[in-house]
Structure 1
């Protein structure tokens, strides 16, 4: 798309005034983010369920890694498939389908008699997790007014960490009360069926994305949706702006993968999206979320106390997420990312140094490492996780949004899965010290990437971002700063 093609009339949007539409927006966000809650619970519950599961199912270190990472590899596939399918049939329908996957996957894991059935159930859950990680942020971003897009889309990340905290708390309670009973891990896994039912029932009453409806030519339906989630007088003006961009998109050949990689600006924004997803995972955050219990045992905690101590990173993750949500529409995305990667890199260095300075057997070692792990998780959740997911939901033009976020999240999940598969072996080989020093080195590279390549998106409508991305204007120095909402 050339600059001249994007220079059509822009609609001046009326201000975002208080009104009952905010309650409707909040309800839609709450229901949709049950997908994030399931994402968090299903990825976090393995943290405490794996050890008793290993005993009952006779797992080896290799099959333990497969059980953990099978969900993550399936999530990579679910991410890329769901993005494309949601472009075809709609965001709402695909989220309803994901709820079914979550439920069936949870039931399969709970009744699994052996390793094979367990992996099959984890694969189903992974397809749901990957799909939710792709579609829910896009659904929220397309429903939200641009002034509060960051805080609304960011609610999904809050629900992810709430889901992980819930998993840690459930694991700690069940593991300490019924830890000696057989099948205790089945109870831990069964809890995930409840939010899956809530997501399915709730989404039946939720609207479709108005931007998707406009793209499909269903203008009256889009207007009806916008009239319920915008202040009076705003819906028609915003609809006109969305139609303007959609009409321009229709004059182009539909952008598939080949169209993206042969357009330098679309390829560049795709690489930015991939880089954001990969950089987020290479902080090692999910090594703590999946294997935090094992890390704390290696640091010196007794196994049952480690289950309790492991709740602390989950609590700080939720607190950090709420702080991030409050900052999201006030601080530029780039600044947030730079602060976040700086803090996590320092945390990695300190964890490595502490594990050298406090050798095994030192009574202070487990508590110091726990405090540093909590600081790392807090930095990650406050400055990185919400910001990365929000940016992935808003940087891509509408005509490639499903494809763009799908490919980006595909890479995110592949890296996530590789870390999940090999983290125990790496810690066994080089210990906490070497592992976290590696994470620190990667953090420096991530900082360089953010500073030199990632554009600013705060304070702009999705339509304005689409124009700037399609022409390369988003990378100009004057556009590297956020615009006030």
Structure 2
């Protein structure tokens, strides 16, 4: 973009839009992280075993996979903002119902409803941001989504810790006679309501408006964003990018017309989405407290460790915001893959030394507890400076206009299915074959992801969305 165009960009308006859109990321993070400190409450309230805990924790992922798949296509019908507003309503309903659940079945339904919102927000917020921001800063602004996801996770960790500390434990009674773990869910209703109200004040995506034939509305939005002259040029570019194959977006667009095979760009999107989960990051997010207690940490210290991981994650994401539009997406992914492979291997080694005393208490001998803690947090840093934000940045911008909604539907569905596979399997894998072998598997996936990026991922830094090819 030329200097003449950049001078006309209304960055104040763009920043306000991004701030509202990324509340969806905060909700995504809070809804995903709140479960971390509630598992003792769920066990006692619903008499759950390991499999039951896995199912209750993983229930959100069923909804998330469906939400991600449906949201991409639905956003082509009711708009990006319309889907985000629907997600806000789902977050609110889920928060109230999960906290009030009287049985495991009701709780699972509540978490599936929340998952629908999480899945929708996870794919639509980055798309919306990419469609209203200039190419020169698109990666930076899209990365804020991950900052907000981690902020939501950390917010959930802090709220869980504070409620458990004040009540005397997550299962102890708190306000109005309800146990603290229920209030951990009910607190989510506050940001959910704020999200819905804030969405009323932002415009619809101009690229969606052009695709639906609302040219005047699109031009009005683009004029507020970039000025009248640039608005005319962008409307013409968007129309031209759609004109070559102008029909309503559909899933069959993901197939190459000449060969009948799935377009390579779709496989790249699926690969990015799946590898982001196969490195095991959500084991830390969902089971962090349980994980550290399993190797000898107290509940209070394990919850504090979660907060430390969250703070480090936010710092890593802020570093990405400074780097993503300077050195590009692909180099950050490669650095992240290499760093995660090494740190996960160290965590695996530390866990392999765990010992059990006569009373059945588990601990890591010598300095291995410190080594595991440092390596695990370095792993979190590498993830959140690379695969955490960059995967969402790339999914939001790498697909051509015609297939963006459909491409996101497939990639988002794959991402949440991989998330479900990792998250639901972890409680059983932690027992057999054990933490050391499980983390070795995550390390191997991190190593494989390095070679996947080298072979399949193409740089998108500085490119206009209308120039993306599939």
Q: Is the 8 A contact 1:301 1:366 kept in 2?
A: no
Q: Name the SS for the 1:310 alignment partner.
A: helix
- How far is the alpha carbon of 1:398 from its aligned partner? 1.2
Q: Is the 8 A contact 2:81 2:203 kept in 1?
A: yes
- How far is the alpha carbon of 1:448 from its aligned partner? 1.3
- How far is the alpha carbon of 1:372 from its aligned partner? 1.0
Partner of 2:132: 143
Partner of 1:131: 120
- How far is the alpha carbon of 1:430 from its aligned partner? 2.3
Q: Is the 8 A contact 2:11 2:225 kept in 1?
A: yes
Superposed CA deviations along residues 2-50 of structure 1, whole A, max 9, x for unmatched, are: xxxxxxxxxx866443467111111111111111101000000101111
Q: Is the 8 A contact 1:358 1:364 kept in 2?
A: no
Partner of 2:380: 377
Superposed CA deviations along residues 302-329 of structure 1, whole A, max 9, x for unmatched, are: 2221111221111111111111111111
The whole-number CA distance in structure 1 between the counterparts of 2:39 and 2:8 is 48
Partner of 1:177: 166
Q: TM-score, normalised by structure 1?
A: 0.90
Residue in structure 1 matching 2:345, options 331, 349, 363: 349
Establish whether residue 403 from structure 1 lines up as the match of residue 406 from structure 2.
Answer: yes
1:57–1:449 distance in 2 versus 1, CA, 3 Å:
same
Q: Is the 8 A contact 1:340 1:379 kept in 2?
A: yes
- How far is the alpha carbon of 1:53 from its aligned partner? 2.4
The whole-number CA distance in structure 2 between the counterparts of 1:356 and 1:60 is 25
Residue segments in structure 1 that go unaligned for 5+ positions in a row: 1-11, 470-485
Q: Residues 420-459 of structure 1 correspond to what in structure 2 (within 5 A)?
A: 420-459=423-462
Q: Is the 8 A contact 2:59 2:108 kept in 1?
A: yes
Q: Is the 8 A contact 2:68 2:412 kept in 1?
A: yes
Q: Name the SS for the 1:323 alignment partner.
A: helix
Q: Name the SS for the 2:38 alignment partner.
A: helix
Partner of 1:460: 463
Partner of 1:477: none
Partner of 1:413: 416
Equivalences, count: 454
- How far is the alpha carbon of 1:258 from its aligned partner? 3.1
Structure 1 stretches of 4+ moved >6 Å: none
1:23–1:409 distance in 2 versus 1, CA, 3 Å:
same
Q: Is the 8 A contact 1:278 1:415 kept in 2?
A: yes
The whole-number CA distance in structure 2 between the counterparts of 1:195 and 1:15 is 39
The whole-number CA distance in structure 2 between the counterparts of 1:16 and 1:47 is 46
Q: Is the 8 A contact 1:14 1:234 kept in 2?
A: no
Partner of 2:39: 50
Q: Name the SS for the 2:244 alignment partner.
A: helix
Q: Residues 311-326 of structure 1 correspond to what in structure 2 (within 5 A)?
A: 311-326=307-322
Establish whether residue 282 from structure 1 lines up as the match of residue 271 from structure 2.
Answer: no
Q: Is the 8 A contact 2:350 2:364 kept in 1?
A: no
Q: Residues 304-315 of structure 1 correspond to what in structure 2 (within 5 A)?
A: 304-315=300-311
Q: Name the SS for the 2:264 alignment partner.
A: helix
Q: Is the 8 A contact 2:353 2:364 kept in 1?
A: no
Superposed CA deviations along residues 361-397 of structure 1, whole A, max 9, x for unmatched, are: 5253332211111100001001221111000011111
- How far is the alpha carbon of 1:256 from its aligned partner? 2.8
Q: Is the 8 A contact 1:84 1:403 kept in 2?
A: yes
Q: Residues 57-72 of structure 1 correspond to what in structure 2 (within 5 A)?
A: 57-72=46-61
Residue segments in structure 2 that go unaligned for 5+ positions in a row: 174-178, 356-362
The whole-number CA distance in structure 2 between the counterparts of 1:240 and 1:13 is 17
Moved more, 397-406 or 273-282: 397-406
The whole-number CA distance in structure 2 between the counterparts of 1:413 and 1:299 is 28
Superposed CA deviations along residues 407-449 of structure 1, whole A, max 9, x for unmatched, are: 1010100010111111011111122211111111112211111
The whole-number CA distance in structure 2 between the counterparts of 1:146 and 1:19 is 14
Establish whether residue 110 from structure 1 lines up as the match of residue 99 from structure 2.
Answer: yes
Establish whether residue 90 from structure 1 lines up as the match of residue 79 from structure 2.
Answer: yes
- How far is the alpha carbon of 1:229 from its aligned partner? 1.3
- How far is the alpha carbon of 1:270 from its aligned partner? 0.6
Moved more, 230-239 or 27-36: 230-239
Q: Is the 8 A contact 1:300 1:365 kept in 2?
A: no
Partner of 1:213: 209
1:420–1:105 distance in 2 versus 1, CA, 3 Å:
same
- How far is the alpha carbon of 1:198 from its aligned partner? 1.0
Q: Is the 8 A contact 1:292 1:310 kept in 2?
A: yes
Partner of 1:261: 255
Partner of 1:479: none
The whole-number CA distance in structure 2 between the counterparts of 1:102 and 1:255 is 28
Q: Is the 8 A contact 2:350 2:369 kept in 1?
A: no
Q: Name the SS for the 2:327 alignment partner.
A: coil
The whole-number CA distance in structure 1 between the counterparts of 2:69 and 2:238 is 25
Superposed CA deviations along residues 425-482 of structure 1, whole A, max 9, x for unmatched, are: 11111222111111111122111111111111111000111xx33xxxxxxxxxxxxx
Partner of 1:35: 24
Q: Is the 8 A contact 1:47 1:289 kept in 2?
A: yes
Q: Is the 8 A contact 2:143 2:389 kept in 1?
A: yes
Q: Is the 8 A contact 1:14 1:233 kept in 2?
A: no
The whole-number CA distance in structure 1 between the counterparts of 2:377 and 2:4 is 40
Q: Is the 8 A contact 1:79 1:134 kept in 2?
A: yes
The whole-number CA distance in structure 2 between the counterparts of 1:407 and 1:32 is 22
The whole-number CA distance in structure 1 between the counterparts of 2:329 and 2:9 is 29
Moved more, 56-65 or 452-461: 56-65
